[in-house]
Structures are given as C-alpha cells and as structure tokens.
C-alpha cells in the first residue's frame, strides 16, 4: 500500500496543478516526491538508508513537499505498475532505488514527460525526464579491503555478491586489490546470492564462506544476516556493515561499515524542482561528496591498521588516491591499467571482469 506523510488535501491539489513543464521551469510551490524501494524500510541496510534520505527531504522542506513511498517492489513488471500508479497519482519526481528498475523507469518515463524520474545505479536515460545517480561504493571497498587484508588470520577473505552487474564486480575487485596490497598471501572467495534482500539466502552465503575457512566477510546484500552469522563464531569471523552502519553489531563482528548517504542528493534534486533549477543529471559521487561514508572503525582493529585505513579514506576524499591505479591486470593476465594510470569511469561502469588473482568466474 502506498504511504504518505504531512500533506494536506488542499496542498496536494496545488501540487497536481503544477506538474506542467512551464510550471517546473518557474519553480513549484509544492512537490510530491515519491520513492520506490526494492526491500523493506526496516532492512537495516540499502532501503533503510534510501528512506532516511526521503525523510531528510521532508525535514528540509516541511509542508512544501509530500513524501510517498512503496516498499518491497520486485524488479520487473510490478515495478512498471507501481511507477505508472505513482505518475498517475500526481508524483512530480519519482526516485527508483535499485538497478533492476532501469527498464521500467525508462518505459514509464516515456509515457509521462512532465514527471521527473531518477534512477539509482543505472545508466539509461532514454528520455529527457530521466536522470541517474550512483555512489562510488568501490571507494569504501578499498578501505574495507585494507582492513580485511591486515586482520585475516587464515588469509582467506570472503565476499557475498548480489547480482553480476558492474557496480558489484567493481566492489569485489577493489576489496580484493586492497587486501592483496597489504597481504600478498590473501585469497578471496565469492558467493553469489542472487538477491538484494533475503536474510535466509544471505545467512547461507555467510555460512558457506565460514565453512571454507574465511574469517573476514564483506557483502553487497542488504540485510544484517551475514553479521549475525559471523556473530555466532565467538570472535573468529569479522565483517562490515553494508549500506548502513549496522551499529547493533559494533560490540561483535562489525569492525566498520560503508554508509550510503543519499540525503544530500535527494534534498538537492527536490530543491531544484522547488526553485526551478532542475535539469537532467548523471551523478556519481563518493567519499569526497559525502555519499559514501566510512563507519566508525572499532577497537577490535589494531591502532596501526585503523590509521592505515583512515589514511586511505582521507586520500580518496582528497583526490590524491584512486582505488583503481595501475599496474593492474585482468584475471586472464592481460594488461588493463599501466603503472600510475587510473581507471576511466567508463571502464568501471562497464566492468565485467575480475582482476588478476581472483579465482572463479563471474556468472553470465
């Protein structure tokens, strides 16, 4: 069921009246901002953080906006139905917050040219009213990889992957490269869960890694299940919060986290509709822009490792270090980046290969 907050019937009527292109060019008195979530807002990870961004919009603009959302929308035909319903229901801007919404977003946007559509982590902008936005999660993986390489006792680290898309593959590569950089003996095992949010599957993936002797686990799925499994090992396995801080595990296996902070982008884009400055965009920010945060590194991490990880975070933020800096070869040994060369964004956004040293194949 669609849910909404803090909007009177009279204000809603005014918002609907201002959906035309001329009105948008002049700015709007009220905006109805709508969000489509792939998981529940209580997932403790990805969707939770997007919802925090939506709530930040409400806080920033008060009664100038209505915020509406729908949780747990499957990626496919259901998404197209929900998007159509939102567009017909008077949403001025619709944020679709998962990669698998890319085709439905572009299909519905073509039918509603006066509605603005914003797609998270995608690359297709088939209509002028479609924008895309992403975060450079691979920067956070470089920090996590540094910690993993230093902290592993078995020299076996693991990664729970969701789907074989470039965003996930570049995270795996960054994590491994930086673990290998500080620990040449490290080996990486990847388990593909084929889900964004399914605590049971995520727990099974964590168990499989632990059974292989992995003692540090990173994940690109949305629940706290991997940390819950790590917590059962009495300190033998550590891990990281994913998408949100997952602070409830700070006294256990969670040693740091990647925190997705969507609030600045959401506030900026809704604000642009209000003031008339809105334009199509393709945004990709990271640690420097505040979209990627590194959660507190706990006392379980030795001081020198913490300092090393924080120095990497700070260098990335300052622009003096890029996580993909050559020499780096592809998995088959062929050259990718020469000494000192940094990866072009196009290479990263289309990444479909492992780097040298990772065993196994990327599913097709």
**In-domain check, residue 3:** no
pLDDT of residue 13 exceeding 70: no
Task: List, in sequence order, every residue forming a beta bridge with 351; answer none if it has no partner.
Answer: none
Per-residue pLDDT reduced to its tens digit, 301-341: 999 999 999 999 999 999 999 999 999 999 999 999 999 99
What pLDDT was estimated at residue 8?
A: 28
Range of the domain at 50: 27-136+262-285
Domain match, 275 and 310 both: no
Label residue 25 by pLDDT band (50, 70, 90): low
Please state, in angstroms and rounded to a whole number, the distance separating the CA atoms of residues 214 and 198. Answer: 21
Distances (CA, A) of 342 to 15, 309, 322, 346: 46, 20, 7, 12
Domain match, 253 and 268 both: no
Q: Which residue has the tokens 């039918």?
A: 111
If you average pLDDT over residues 25-53, what whole number do you get? 92
Per-residue pLDDT reduced to its tens digit, 134-161: 999 999 999 999 999 999 999 999 999 9
**In-domain check, residue 120:** yes
Per-residue pLDDT reduced to its tens digit, 37-49: 999 998 889 999 9
Domain match, 252 and 324 both: yes
Q: Which residue has the tokens 């998408």?
A: 243
Task: List, in sequence order, every residue forming a beta bridge with 304; answer none if it has no partner.
Answer: none
pLDDT of residue 208 exceeding 80: yes
Q: What is the dihedral angle through the alpha carbons of 311, 322, 244, 69, rounded to the nearest 10 degrees? A: 150
User: In this structure, are residues 92 and 15 in contact, taking their beta carbons and an 8 Å threshold?
Assistant: yes
CATH at residue 275:
3.40.50.2300
Label residue 1 by pLDDT band (50, 70, 90): very low
| b/e burial code for range 324-349 (CB count within 10 A of at least 16 → b) | beeebeebeeeebbeeeeebeeeebe
Please state, in angstroms and rounded to a whole number, the distance separating the CA atoms of residues 39 and 341. Answer: 38
Domain match, 184 and 72 both: no
Residues 6+ apart with CB under 8 A from 229: 203, 206, 207, 210, 237
Q: Which residue has the tokens 């388990």?
A: 191
Residues 6+ apart with CB under 8 A from 297: 147, 255, 256, 306, 309, 310
Domain match, 305 and 181 both: yes
Domain match, 326 and 217 both: yes
What pLDDT was estimated at residue 224?
A: 95
pLDDT of residue 79 exceeding 70: yes
Domain match, 198 and 325 both: yes
**In-domain check, residue 14:** no
What pLDDT was estimated at residue 167?
A: 94
Residue 85, classified by CB atoms within 10 Å of its CB into exposed (0-12), middle (13-18) or buried (19+), is middle
Q: Which of 138, 145, 219 is nearest to 183 (CA)?
A: 145
Please state, in angstroms and rounded to a whole number, the distance separating the CA atoms of residues 56 and 49. Answer: 11
Domain match, 274 and 181 both: no
Please state, in angstroms and rounded to a whole number, the distance separating the CA atoms of residues 203 and 158. Answer: 13
Where is 353: in which H helix or E strand? none
% of the chain at pLDDT higher than 90: 90
């Amino acid at each position: 069921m669609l849910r909404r907050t803090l909007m009177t019937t009279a204000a809603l009527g005014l918002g609907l009246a201002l959906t035309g292109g001329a009105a948008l060019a002049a700015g709007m008195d009220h905006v109805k901002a709508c969000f489509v979530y792939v998981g529940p807002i209580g997932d403790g990870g990805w969707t939770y953080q997007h919802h925090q961004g939506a709530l930040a919009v409400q806080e920033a603009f008060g009664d100038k906006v209505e915020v509406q959302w729908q949780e747990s929308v499957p990626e496919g035909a259901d998404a197209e139905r929900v998007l159509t319903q939102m567009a017909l229901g008077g949403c001025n801007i619709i944020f679709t917050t998962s990669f698998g919404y890319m085709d439905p977003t572009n299909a519905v946007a073509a039918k509603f040219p006066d509605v603005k559509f914003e797609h998270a982590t995608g690359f297709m902008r088939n209509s002028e009213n479609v924008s895309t936005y992403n975060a450079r999660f691979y920067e956070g993986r470089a920090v996590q990889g540094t910690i993993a390489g230093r902290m592993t006792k078995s020299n076996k680290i693991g990664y729970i992957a969701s789907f074989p898309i470039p965003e996930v593959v570049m995270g795996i590569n960054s994590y491994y490269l930086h673990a290998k950089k500080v620990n040449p003996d490290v080996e990486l095992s990847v388990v593909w869960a084929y889900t964004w949010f399914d605590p049971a599957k995520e727990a099974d993936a964590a168990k499989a890694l632990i059974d292989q002797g992995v003692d540090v686990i990173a994940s690109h799925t949305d629940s706290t299940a991997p940390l819950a499994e790590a917590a059962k090992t009495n300190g033998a396995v550590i891990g990281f919060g994913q998408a949100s801080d997952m602070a409830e595990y700070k006294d256990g296996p969670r040693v740091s986290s990647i925190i997705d902070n969507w609030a600045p982008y959401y506030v900026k884009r809704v604000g642009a509709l209000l003031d008339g400055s809105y334009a199509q965009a393709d945004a990709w920010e990271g640690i420097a822009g505040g979209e990627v945060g590194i959660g507190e590194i706990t006392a379980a991490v030795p001081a020198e490792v913490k300092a090393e990880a924080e120095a990497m975070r700070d260098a990335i933020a300052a622009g003096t270090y890029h996580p993909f800096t050559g020499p780096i070869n592809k998995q088959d040994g062929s050259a990718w980046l020469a000494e000192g060369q940094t990866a072009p964004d196009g290479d990263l956004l289309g990444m479909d290969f492992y780097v040298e040293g990772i065993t196994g194949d990327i599913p097709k």
